[in-house]
């Protein structure tokens, strides 16, 4: 009988995509039957479309969990993590009966924000793994945060020195994720609750590979701190990225436009499925692109002066008209040099296109891995969550990105700085150097995933354990 495993992502495309890709690998490459448990509460149109695609492999079944009513539990001004955690908490109430109905799978693989599943699976004797959808460096921080919480009394933003995560590069105070910048808010309490429970997993799958973040990986495996808190075994199985996406009419237009451009000549500007800029920053970005005189594809959505994660729960939501908020005449003046795309572009198709020379990115982990998998250097433009930590690592440790400077006392990156960065990456010597390093990482990523590569073998070893336990 086939081994049967269930996977449980939390909402948001940054979580759904790696879970779906891991599920596909288990089915297609390792012959396992997988049930993906889909949290439907407030699911975006993009999430529903992706998980109900007719092209999913036959042994991958998507099971929709019933929508939960969270109206009495979440206020309008609740932060993104609070909302996400309450959605998960309420959606997991029928989990026990769902797992029993599935015949108790050999394992459940959960997301970082689904740790309520540990008790349920414990009761049913189902081993529970975590798929960690961020960087290995961020996993090290996740495992360290409960200790930091006990040992530090003040707010972390008031610490005089960077946060020294055991065995890893120190994290600058300004790069700490938003949710730990104020310890009194609900967001922090939820993050601490789930981070505290991470070591309860039987094992942790990493969306990374052996050669990409060697120092952080070595620290988690060998540093006495992580041994002392009984960190579960870590299994790097990445990069888990979206391999193919059906091209919409708009997507086909992007690719057709790229087909006409010279090799490595186009800057792709996209700030992720949930990110938005302020009105002032979007204006500066547009002017900077125009002044650079470089070819570009600009994926743009309506600006907001509120949260930078303004469209997290509304991916593929409102259709918008860029002419209403881009500088007057911008689209006409840059016609031929630039292509403006409202809301969404087929990111994988653009990044792997030979005409794409660089990626101005929010540094979400999925986008980071997609860029590296296709050897595309980055201009790092982090917006929220752990993106500032990712950006720092990509610039300072991996050397595949550059980061614009915000002028002192200014709330925005100004057009002259954007023009400078774009020209440097697309034409300058530094751009050539980071492109070279990105190409090296591209080779390393594909080696890891290939049959016999480190990520393939890492996943295969766990599958073997499931197969053996199934036969006992």
- Is residue 470 very low, low, confident or very high in pLDDT (cuts 50, 70, 90)? low
244 a catalytic residue? no
Same domain? For 207 and 266 the reply is: no
Same domain? For 457 and 394 the reply is: no
Share of the chain above pLDDT 90, in %: 86
Same domain? For 227 and 329 the reply is: no
Active-site choice (15, 30, 33, 194)? 15
Task: Calculate mean pLDDT across residues 69-98.
Answer: 95
Distance between CA atoms of residues 31 and 24, nearest Å? 10
Give me the torsion for CA of 272, 274, 277, 282, rounded to 10°. Answer: 50
- Is residue 123 very low, low, confident or very high in pLDDT (cuts 50, 70, 90)? very high
In this prediction, residue 18 carries a pLDDT of 97
Alpha carbon distances (Å) from 339 to 245, 254, 307, 355 = 20, 8, 26, 13
Mean pLDDT of the chain: 94
Q: What is the CATH number of the domain that holds 209?
A: 3.40.50.2000
Q: pLDDT tens digits for 375-422? A: 999 999 999 889 999 999 999 999 999 999 987 778 899 999 999 999
Q: Where are the alpha helices (DSSP H) in 335-397?
A: 347-351, 365-373, 387-393
In this prediction, residue 20 carries a pLDDT of 97
Same domain? For 227 and 320 the reply is: no
In this prediction, residue 76 carries a pLDDT of 87
Same domain? For 456 and 391 the reply is: no
In this prediction, residue 258 carries a pLDDT of 98
Same domain? For 283 and 216 the reply is: no
Active-site choice (111, 175, 178, 211)? 111
In this prediction, residue 311 carries a pLDDT of 46
- Extract the tokens encoding 50: 């992706």
For 250-284, the DSSP string reads HHHHHHHHHHTSPTT-EEEEE-TTT----HHHHHH
Asked if pLDDT for residue 340 goes beyond 80, the answer is yes
Q: Are 109 and 8 in contact (CB under 8 A)?
A: yes
Same domain? For 258 and 372 the reply is: yes
Query: How many residues comprise the chain?
Result: 472
> Which residues constitute the domain of residue 130?
4-240+449-471
In this prediction, residue 308 carries a pLDDT of 53
In this prediction, residue 312 carries a pLDDT of 46
Higher pLDDT, 407 or 42: 42
Task: Calculate mean pLDDT across residues 21-42.
Answer: 97
- Is residue 307 very low, low, confident or very high in pLDDT (cuts 50, 70, 90)? low
Q: Which residues make beta-bridge pairs with 128?
A: 108
Same domain? For 391 and 462 the reply is: no
Q: Are 445 and 372 in contact (CB under 8 A)?
A: yes
Same domain? For 364 and 307 the reply is: yes
Distance between CA atoms of residues 88 and 38, nearest Å? 10
Q: pLDDT tens digits for 241-268? A: 998 778 889 899 999 999 999 999 999 9
In this prediction, residue 243 carries a pLDDT of 81
Same domain? For 184 and 50 the reply is: yes
Least confident of 147-151, 305-309, 332-336, 402-406: 305-309
In this prediction, residue 319 carries a pLDDT of 55
Q: Which long-range contacts (CB under 8 A, 24 or more apart) does 465-470 make?
A: 466/3, 466/5, 466/32, 466/106, 466/107, 467/3, 469/106, 469/127, 470/1, 470/3, 470/106
Task: Calculate mean pLDDT across residues 327-340.
Answer: 96
For 116-171, the DSSP string reads THHHHHHHHT--EEEEE-S-HHHHHHHHHHHHHHHH--S-GGG-SS-B--TTSPPB
Same domain? For 210 and 295 the reply is: no
111 a catalytic residue? yes
Same domain? For 265 and 302 the reply is: yes
Asked if pLDDT for residue 220 goes beyond 60, the answer is yes
How would you write 211-232 as a 3-class SS string? CCCHHHHHHHHHCHHHHHCCCC
How many domains does the chain contain in total? 2
């Amino acid at each position: 009988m086939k081994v049967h495993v269930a996977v449980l992502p939390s909402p948001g495309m940054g979580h759904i995509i790696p879970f779906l890709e891991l599920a596909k690998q288990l089915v297609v490459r390792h012959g396992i039957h997988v049930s993906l448990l889909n949290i439907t509460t407030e699911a975006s149109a993009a999430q529903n479309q992706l998980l109900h695609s007719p092209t999913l492999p036959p042994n991958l079944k998507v099971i929709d969990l019933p929508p939960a009513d969270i109206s009495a539990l979440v206020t309008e001004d609740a932060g993104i993590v609070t909302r996400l955690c309450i959605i998960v908490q309420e959606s997991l109430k029928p989990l026990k009966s769902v797992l029993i109905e599935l015949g108790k799978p050999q394992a459940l693989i959960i997301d970082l924000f689904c740790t309520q599943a540990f008790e349920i699976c414990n009761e049913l004797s189902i081993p529970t793994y975590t798929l960690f959808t961020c960087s290995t460096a961020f996993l090290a921080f996740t495992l360290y945060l409960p200790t930091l919480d006990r040992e530090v009394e003040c707010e972390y933003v008031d610490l005089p020195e960077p946060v020294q995560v055991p065995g890893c590069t120190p994290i600058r105070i300004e790069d700490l994720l938003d949710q730990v910048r104020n310890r009194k808010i609900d967001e922090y309490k939820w993050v601490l609750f789930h981070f505290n429970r991470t070591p309860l997993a039987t094992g942790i799958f990493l969306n990374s590979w052996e050669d990409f973040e060697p120092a952080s990986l070595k620290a988690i495996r060998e540093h006495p701190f992580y041994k002392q808190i009984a960190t579960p075994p870590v299994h790097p199985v990445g990069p888990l990225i979206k391999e193919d996406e059906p091209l919409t009419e708009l997507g086909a237009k992007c690719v057709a436009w790229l087909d006409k451009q010279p090799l490595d000549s186009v800057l792709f500007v996209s700030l992720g499925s949930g990110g938005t800029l302020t009105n002032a920053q979007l204006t500066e970005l547009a002017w900077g692109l125009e002044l650079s005189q470089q070819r570009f594809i600009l994926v743009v959505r309506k600006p907001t002066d509120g949260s930078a994660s303004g469209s997290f729960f509304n991916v593929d939501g409102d259709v918008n008209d860029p002419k209403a908020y881009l500088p007057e005449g911008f689209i006409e003046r840059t016609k031929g040099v630039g292509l403006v795309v409202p809301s969404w572009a087929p990111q994988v198709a653009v990044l792997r296109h030979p005409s794409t020379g660089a990626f101005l990115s929010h540094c979400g982990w999925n986008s980071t891995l997609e860029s590296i998998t296709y050897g595309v250097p980055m201009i790092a433009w982090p917006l929220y969550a752990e993106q500032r930590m990712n950006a720092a690592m990509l610039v300072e440790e991996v050397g595949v990105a550059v980061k614009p400077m915000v002028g002192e006392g200014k709330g925005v990156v100004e057009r002259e700085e954007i023009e400078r960065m774009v020209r440097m990456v697309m034409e300058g010597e530094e751009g050539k150097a980071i492109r070279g390093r990105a190409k090296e990482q591209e080779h390393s990523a594909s080696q890891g995933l290939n049959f016999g590569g480190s990520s393939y073998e890492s996943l295969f070893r766990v599958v073997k354990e499931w197969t053996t336990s199934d036969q006992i």
